[in-house]
């Protein structure tokens, strides 16, 4: 299968996010690997995703799940070899699946040779590759990100007898992007992977690249200049590749990372994500409508990435204090579910394993503007384990079947990189791919159909959005439009049946055709269009004219 | 034949679109264009800031205003305008017009129906004429229902010492004696109630009775007390003085006939003889403003004298001979000496109430006859307390309450017998 060649292919993507360690272990050592992942590409192709986003797989002491990189141009031995990666990449491309990989620009592991050299002496050529200071009183306006574990953004290095700057864990010293050698080195890293054939990068922690006194050290103009430089070089040498920004900021601040279409191709819409959860709990469309109405226009070549869950906590950084308190009270009453400024739970447990709510949220994910990301395991409703520490509870082994180790590995269960979820509700015996493949009515089967419908038209991936404002605020309704094509999405956010009258006068004469079953609904006339929806039900209608 | 619904189709459609709520605030208006703006903003502010997590609705019930009150209410709304506060939920307004011919009970019934249809758990009613209303008042009303699960919350105000005299001289001491609870503001335009009480009240048969036109809110409060609902009262703040004497006779007649009717509809409860019981009071239970004001006691005394004289035959049918004689004796005296004691006033009130119950005359005439007698009482009150402190006035009020309580047994007997002195 050939990969679509249009330069903005990322707009039509359905992204599947996973860590190679979690997916499938081919070697029997208890850790997922690239050969195992390659083995499971058919599953992903059947699911309908066309991009895989891989979390960091580089050599690392693994003190931050691989985000502490000690070698940018290699594969961690637990996951296989560079040859395994090449083989996997080719196999993915052969199935029409693109691969984007994680690149942690902001910092390295303190075990990275660059840092080892930098700390060894004030006169080392790489000394200036990191941000050093004799005291810890610079950049006081920068906030601490990992508030649960870090007390300061400076750490004392006993080897170097000075302080180094770290916005994340203290074992992750920040690179000094004021140094052109650093920028060049990072470009060489990117070039290495682009040469191999990867289709793009998700650049981690972008806002924090540059520090300046008297600022928050986030989103500075110099950071944007660095991104523009990397983008320009990539476009020139490797056209058609993609950069995805991780910038957990308000939409107006994230928009800056699109530049004039000359910085990132895509960026996560972080503020939308918690508001989808909030809207379902409040049974009120207000949070979703307001945040999208406050989202500025972005360059035509750019695209938002939207998501429900990921490998991190459900971040509540981009909400008000009242909203955060509400989310904690409603979704994480047990404080062990909370970490940093967020909630470390998977989608299904957050929805109390309510199939209808899980479907509704996925329906929103697939119909609101942006490229959707599915977090591995959420397509079968996997559970979590908040007692595994940090965010490891949402990074447990993929559940393939009800047999030995859930079909993930042939190793002894004690040897697995993390224990499987094994409780009667979410455990691998109850929730797994094999059993769900056997049922047309499983969540997995439903997700496949949903993705299929999503991909059947470019309206969802490229169309505009116009919100309708029916009196019933429990119903979220909007029209997506691209050229002459229109889709009406109507979502009942409430746990009770709802009636709603929609003002569709401007579409008078159109016939709504429900997109999953192709049923014809009454033609739109002069009167408000009455619909009734069951609890958490949603419809997608093509509005056809004949 | 089907009973016509008093809820308009449009209002029902609006209720449908709101769905279930936790909190409902109703604003009642009739020709309140000048004051409704502040009330609207206060209600929105309270719900957004203090009940931001609750599903809430604002209900504007207008009784046929002709001065543009509904338009003024819409214009005053701050919803949708950036006001520095981001509420979690959609806050909705729904509106209905009960028409100018509909009585106050129709407005109350509309609010109760909305509360029931929306399954509202905590409800507050405020008047659009109360310009001094602020968001904290609404929170003070809703709070005890929402947080402490009370069923009925009556207000308490700071009043001028010469304001609210009908309440303080008749409604309060009389109801306290019979119902055992010292609820000071029985006839309130601001109060709160639970969804539970709303459903109970809505289901009562008294809605079909003419008497409810005069005493809807009083009846709801007394029904709550007499049917085991949890009641309390909460201090709000200063209540502006009522405007001058325009319509005051109608107010007196309506309040008195409404109160007497309420006693009838609840007599199965208080006839048993209810002992005094504490009522939870949040904040100070009385506040009096003793600022000096000019009052025309001479005119009041003259009205009393002429009323006692002109209505002598009617009063003779209503009152015991001794009581009637005492009123006549006082009417003949000059102002300083013409003091209607607490004991006499309590006796007069109780005899009137019993006479109303036994319909010794047409009830409208009976209530009309009460007016000049009440004026005599007011004159005495003003004279006695013209220089008194708030504490002295309060002490006298307590004495009045004790008088009503002391004469309760007599009243119960009189109420239960066929006529004056008959068994």
> For A481-523, how does the pLDDT look when each residue is reduced to its tens digit (9 = 90+)?
999 999 999 999 999 999 999 999 999 999 999 999 999 899 9
In this predicted structure, what is the pLDDT of residue A74?
97
Q: Do residue A472 and residue B86 have CB atoms under 8 angstroms apart?
A: no
In a domain, residue A175? The reply is no
Look-up: residue for tokens 């009642």? B28
Residue B245 has pLDDT above 70, yes or no: no
Q: Choose the most confident range, by mean pLDDT, from B169-173, B275-279, B419-423.
A: B169-173
Query: Is A503 annotated as catalytic?
Result: no
Domain count, chain A: 3
Do A97 and A76 fall within a single domain? yes
Distance from CA of B90 to the nearest CA of A (A): 6
Residue B422 has pLDDT above 70, yes or no: no
Beta pairing, strands A51-54 & A15-18: parallel
CB pairs under 8 A between A and B: 37
Beta strands in A89-150 (DSSP E): 98-104, 132-133
Average pLDDT value over all residues in chain A: 95
Report residue B86's pLDDT band, with 50, 70 and 90 as the boundaries: low
Three-class DSSP labels, B11-55? HHHHHHHHCCCCEEEEEEECCCCCCHHHHHHHHHHHHHHHCCCCC
Do A430 and A470 fall within a single domain? no
Distance, CA of A539 to CA of A528 (rounded, Å): 17
Q: Do residue A472 and residue B88 have CB atoms under 8 angstroms apart?
A: no
Do A508 and A397 fall within a single domain? no
Instruction: Give buried/exposed letters for B278-308 (b at 16+ CB in 10 A, else e).
Output: ebebbeeebbbbbeeeeeebeebbebbbebb
A524 alpha carbon, distance to own chain's centre:
38
Alpha helices by DSSP H, A160-303: 180-196, 221-237, 251-255, 272-282, 286-293
Q: Do residue B52 and residue A322 have CB atoms under 8 angstroms apart?
A: yes
Do A449 and A469 fall within a single domain? no
Q: Do residue A471 and residue B19 have CB atoms under 8 angstroms apart?
A: no
In this predicted structure, what is the pLDDT of residue A239?
95
**In sequence order, which residues have a C-beta less than 8 Å from that of residue A281 and are 6 or more positions away?**
A326, A327, A330, A331
In this predicted structure, what is the pLDDT of residue B292?
74
Q: Which of B9, B58, B90 to mutate to test the interface with A (most CBs of A within 10 A)?
A: B90
232-251 in A: which are within 8 Å (CB) of B? none
Q: What is the per-residue pLDDT across A381-422, written as a single tens digit (0 to 9) for each?
A: 999 999 998 889 999 999 999 999 999 999 999 999 999 999
Which of A204, A218, A263, A359 does the annotation list as catalytic?
A204
Q: What is the per-residue pLDDT across A217-251, written as a single tens digit (0 to 9) for each?
A: 999 999 999 999 999 999 999 999 999 999 888 88
Q: What is the CATH number of the domain that holds A145?
A: 3.90.400.10
What ipTM does the predicted assembly reach? 0.75
Distance from CA of A282 to the nearest CA of B (A): 7
> 3-state DSSP: chain B helix, strand, coil percent, rounded to 5?
50, 15, 35
Residue B187 has pLDDT above 90, yes or no: no
A98 alpha carbon, distance to own chain's centre:
16
In this predicted structure, what is the pLDDT of residue B419?
55
Kindly state the average pLDDT of the residues A62-80: 95
Which of A33, A157, A199, A246 does the annotation list as catalytic?
A246
Shortest CB distance from A499 goes to which of B16, B55, B90? B16
51-70 in B: which are within 8 Å (CB) of A? 52-53, 55
Residue A163's H or E segment, with its range, is: strand A162-165
Query: Could you tell me if A323 lies within 8 Å of chain B, comparing CB atoms?
Result: yes
Do A244 and A191 fall within a single domain? yes
Which token pair is A33?
A: 């690997």
**DSSP class per residue in B196-250:** HHHHHHHT-GGGGSTTHHHHHHHHHHHHHHHTT--EEEEEEEEPPPPP-STTHHH
In this predicted structure, what is the pLDDT of residue B4?
59
Torsion of CA B46, B51, B52, B54, to 10 degrees: -140
Q: Do residue B20 and residue A285 have CB atoms under 8 angstroms apart?
A: no
Distance, CA of A263 to CA of A254 (rounded, Å): 11
In a domain, residue A171? The reply is no
Three-class DSSP labels, B136-173? HHHHHHHHHHHHHCCCEEEEEEEEECCCCHHHHHHHHH
Which token pair is A423?
A: 């409780």
Q: What is the per-residue pLDDT across B341-355, written as a single tens digit (0 to 9) for each?
A: 999 999 999 999 999
Q: Please report, rounded to a whole number, the percentage of residues in chain A having pLDDT higher than 90.
A: 92
In angstroms, the Cα distances linking A514 to A285, A502, A519, A542 are 22, 16, 5, 6
Angle CA A307–A308–A309, to nearest 5: 105
Do A155 and A96 fall within a single domain? no
Minimal Cα distance from B50: which residue of A?
A: A322
Query: Is A117 annotated as catalytic?
Result: no
Task: Compute chain A's Rg from CA coordinates.
Answer: 24
In a domain, residue A408? The reply is yes
Kindly state the average pLDDT of the residues A349-371: 98
In a domain, residue A361? The reply is yes
Quote the domain boundaries for residue A493: 463-544
Last residue in a domain, options A455, A473, A489: A455
Instruction: Go through the domains of chain B in sequence order and give each one's CATH number.
Output: 1-148 (3.90.550.10), 297-416 (no CATH)
Task: Compute chain B's Rg from CA coordinates.
Answer: 22
Residues of chain A contacting B88 with CB distance shorter than 8 Å: 278, 282, 284, 286-287, 322-323, 326
Residue among A66, A156, A149, A44 nearest A111 (CA): A66
Do A152 and A231 fall within a single domain? no
Distance from CA of A471 to the nearest CA of B (A): 6
Distance from CA of A450 to the nearest CA of B (A): 29
Q: What is the CATH number of the domain that holds A470?
A: 2.60.40.1180
Higher model confidence: residue B212 or residue A132? A132
Residues of chain A contacting B92 with CB distance shorter than 8 Å: 473
Query: CB of A303 within 8 A of CB of A11?
Result: yes
Q: What is the per-residue pLDDT across B7-36, written as a single tens digit (0 to 9) for each?
A: 888 998 899 889 999 999 999 999 999 999
Neighbours of B394 (CB within 10 A): 17
In a domain, residue A22? The reply is yes
Report residue B119's pLDDT band, with 50, 70 and 90 as the boundaries: very high
Query: Could you tell me if B160 lies within 8 Å of chain A, comparing CB atoms?
Result: no
Distance from CA of B52 to the nearest CA of A (A): 9
337-366 in B: which are within 8 Å (CB) of A? none
Query: Could you tell me if B92 lies within 8 Å of chain A, comparing CB atoms?
Result: yes
In this predicted structure, what is the pLDDT of residue A249?
84
Residue A38 has pLDDT above 80, yes or no: yes
Distance from CA of A287 to the nearest CA of B (A): 7
Shortest CB distance from A284 goes to which of B14, B17, B90? B90
Residue A148 has pLDDT above 80, yes or no: no
In this predicted structure, what is the pLDDT of residue A36?
98
Alpha helices by DSSP H, A150-179: none
Residues of chain A contacting B20 with CB distance shorter than 8 Å: 496
Query: Could you tell me if A71 lies within 8 Å of chain B, comparing CB atoms?
Result: no
In a domain, residue A321? The reply is yes
Do A448 and A469 fall within a single domain? no
Residues of chain A contacting B90 with CB distance shorter than 8 Å: 284-286, 473
> 3-state DSSP: chain A helix, strand, coil percent, rounded to 5?
35, 20, 50
Query: Could you tell me if B90 lies within 8 Å of chain A, comparing CB atoms?
Result: yes
Do A222 and A355 fall within a single domain? yes
Task: Enumerate the β-bridge partners of residue A529.
Answer: A502
Query: Could you tell me if B89 lies within 8 Å of chain A, comparing CB atoms?
Result: yes
In this predicted structure, what is the pLDDT of residue B2?
38
In this predicted structure, what is the pLDDT of residue B83?
59
In a domain, residue A147? The reply is yes
Distance, CA of A199 to CA of A254 (rounded, Å): 22
In this predicted structure, what is the pLDDT of residue B423?
40
**Cα within 13 Å of Cα(B140), Cβ side:** 22
Angle of helix B363-384 relative to helix B321-331, nearest 10 degrees, comes to 50
CA terminus-to-terminus distance, chain A: 35
In angstroms, the Cα distances linking A495 to A281, A353, B20, B57, B237 are 9, 14, 11, 19, 41
Last residue in a domain, options A455, A481, A508: A455
Residue A352 has pLDDT above 70, yes or no: yes
Shortest CB distance from A473 goes to which of B13, B53, B90? B90
In a domain, residue A1? The reply is no
Distance from CA of B55 to the nearest CA of A (A): 8
Q: What is the per-residue pLDDT across A434-462, written as a single tens digit (0 to 9) for each?
A: 999 999 999 999 999 999 999 999 999 99
Instruction: Give buried/exposed letters for A353-380 (b at 16+ CB in 10 A, else e).
Output: eeeebbbbbbbbbbbbbbbbbbbbbbbb
Do A424 and A490 fall within a single domain? no
In this predicted structure, what is the pLDDT of residue B287?
82
Q: Do residue A494 and residue B14 have CB atoms under 8 angstroms apart?
A: no
Query: Could you tell me if A499 lies within 8 Å of chain B, comparing CB atoms?
Result: yes
Shortest CB distance from A284 goes to which of B16, B17, B89? B89
For residue A43, the 8-state DSSP code is: H
Do A281 and A200 fall within a single domain? yes
Shortest CB distance from B19 goes to which of A278, A282, A474? A474
Which token pair is A299?
A: 């360059």
Do A430 and A362 fall within a single domain? yes
Distance, CA of A210 to CA of A537 (rounded, Å): 46
Q: What is the CATH number of the domain that holds A342?
A: 3.20.20.80
């Amino acid at each position: 299968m050939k990969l679509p060649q249009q330069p903005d292919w990322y707009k039509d993507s359905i992204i599947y996010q996973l860590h190679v360690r979690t997916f499938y272990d081919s070697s029997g050592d208890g850790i997922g690997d690239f050969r195992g992942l390659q083995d499971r590409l058919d599953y992903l192709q059947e699911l309908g995703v066309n991009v895989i986003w891989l979390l960091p797989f580089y050599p690392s002491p693994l003190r931050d799940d691989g985000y502490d990189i000690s070698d940018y141009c290699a594969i961690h031995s637990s996951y296989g070899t560079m040859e395994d990666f090449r083989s996997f990449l080719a196999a993915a491309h052969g199935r029409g699946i693109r691969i984007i990989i994680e690149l942690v620009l902001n910092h390295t592991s303190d075990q990275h040779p660059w840092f080892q050299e930098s700390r060894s002496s004030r006169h080392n050529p790489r000394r200036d590759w990191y941000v050093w200071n004799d005291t810890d009183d610079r950049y006081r306006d920068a906030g601490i990100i990992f508030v649960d574990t870090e007390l300061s953004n400076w750490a004392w290095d006993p080897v170097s007898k000075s302080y180094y700057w770290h916005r994340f864990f203290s074992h992750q010293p920040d690179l000094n992007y004021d140094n052109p050698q650093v920028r060049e080195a990072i470009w060489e890293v990117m070039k290495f992977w682009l040469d191999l054939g990867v289709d793009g990068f998700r650049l981690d922690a972008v806002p924090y690249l540059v520090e300046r006194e008297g600022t928050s050290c986030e989103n500075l103009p110099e950071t944007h200049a660095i991104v523009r430089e990397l983008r320009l070089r990539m476009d020139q040498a490797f056209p058609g590749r993609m950069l995805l920004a991780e910038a957990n900021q308000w939409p107006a601040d994230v928009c800056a990372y699109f530049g004039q279409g000359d910085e990132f191709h895509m960026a996560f819409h972080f503020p939308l994500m918690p508001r989808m959860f909030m809207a379902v709990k409040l049974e009120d469309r207000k949070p979703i409508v307001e945040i999208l109405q406050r989202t500025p226009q972005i360059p035509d070549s750019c695209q938002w990435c939207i998501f429900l869950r990921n490998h991190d906590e459900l971040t509540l950084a981009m909400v008000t204090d009242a909203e955060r308190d509400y989310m904690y009270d409603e979704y994480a009453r047990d404080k062990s579910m909370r970490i940093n400024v967020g909630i470390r739970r998977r989608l299904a447990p957050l929805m109390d394993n309510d199939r209808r709510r899980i479907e509704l949220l996925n329906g929103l994910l697939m119909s609101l503007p942006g490229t959707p990301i599915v977090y591995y395991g959420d397509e079968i409703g996997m559970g979590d384990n908040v007692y595994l520490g940090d965010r490891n509870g949402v990074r447990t082994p993929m559940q393939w079947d009800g047999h030995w180790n859930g079909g993930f590995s042939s190793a002894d269960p004690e040897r697995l990189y993390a224990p499987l979820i094994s409780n009667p509700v979410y455990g691998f015996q109850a929730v797994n791919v094999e059993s769900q493949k056997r049922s047309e009515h499983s969540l997995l089967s439903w997700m496949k159909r949903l993705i299929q419908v999503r991909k059947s038209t470019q309206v969802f991936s490229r169309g505009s959005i116009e919100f309708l404002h029916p009196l019933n605020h429990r119903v979220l309704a909007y029209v997506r439009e691209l050229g002459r094509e229109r889709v009406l999405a109507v979502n009942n956010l409430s746990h009770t049946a709802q009636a709603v009258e929609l003002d569709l006068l401007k579409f008078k004469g159109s016939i709504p055709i429900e997109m999953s079953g192709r049923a014809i609904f009454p033609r739109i006339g002069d009167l408000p269009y009455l619909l009734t929806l069951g609890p958490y039900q949603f419809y997608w209608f093509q509005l056809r004219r004949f | 034949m089907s009973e016509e619904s008093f809820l308009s189709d449009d209002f029902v459609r609006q209720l449908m679109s709101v769905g279930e709520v936790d909190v409902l605030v109703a604003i009642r208006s009739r020709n309140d264009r000048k004051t409704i703006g502040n009330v609207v903003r206060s209600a929105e502010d309270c719900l957004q800031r203090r009940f931001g997590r609750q599903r809430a609705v604002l209900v504007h019930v207008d009784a046929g205003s002709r001065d543009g009150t509904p338009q003024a209410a819409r214009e005053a709304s701050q919803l949708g305008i950036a006001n520095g506060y981001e509420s979690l939920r959609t806050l909705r307004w729904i509106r209905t017009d009960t028409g100018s011919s509909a009585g106050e009970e129709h407005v109350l019934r509309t609010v109760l129906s909305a509360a029931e249809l929306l399954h509202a758990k905590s409800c507050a009613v405020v008047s659009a004429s109360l310009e001094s209303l602020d968001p904290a008042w609404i929170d003070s009303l809703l709070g005890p229902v929402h947080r402490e699960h009370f069923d009925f919350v009556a207000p308490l105000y700071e009043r001028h010492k010469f304001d609210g005299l009908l309440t303080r001289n008749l409604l309060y001491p009389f109801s306290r004696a019979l119902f055992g609870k010292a609820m000071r503001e029985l006839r309130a335009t601001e109060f709160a109630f639970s969804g539970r009480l709303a459903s109970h009240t809505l289901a009562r048969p008294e809605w079909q009775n003419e008497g409810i036109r005069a005493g809807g809110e009083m009846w709801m409060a007394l029904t709550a007390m007499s049917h085991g609902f949890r009641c309390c009262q909460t201090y709000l703040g200063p209540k502006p003085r009522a405007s001058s004497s325009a319509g005051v006779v109608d107010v007196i007649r309506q309040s008195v006939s409404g109160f007497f009717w309420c006693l009838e509809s609840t007599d199965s409860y208080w006839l048993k003889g209810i002992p005094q019981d504490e009522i939870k009071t949040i904040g100070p239970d009385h506040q009096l403003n003793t600022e000096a004001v000019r009052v025309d006691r001479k005119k009041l005394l003259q009205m009393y004298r002429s009323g006692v004289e002109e209505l002598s035959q009617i009063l003779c049918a209503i009152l015991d001979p001794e009581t009637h004689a005492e009123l006549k004796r006082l009417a003949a005296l000059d102002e300083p000496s013409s003091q209607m004691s607490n004991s006499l006033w309590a006796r007069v009130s109780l005899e009137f109430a019993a006479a109303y119950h036994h319909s010794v005359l047409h009830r409208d005439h009976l209530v009309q006859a009460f007016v000049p007698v009440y004026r005599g009482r007011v004159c005495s009150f003003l004279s006695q307390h013209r220089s008194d402190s708030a504490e002295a006035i309060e002490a006298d009020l307590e004495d009045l309450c004790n008088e009503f309580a002391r004469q309760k047994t007599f009243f119960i007997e009189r109420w239960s017998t066929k006529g004056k002195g008959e068994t």
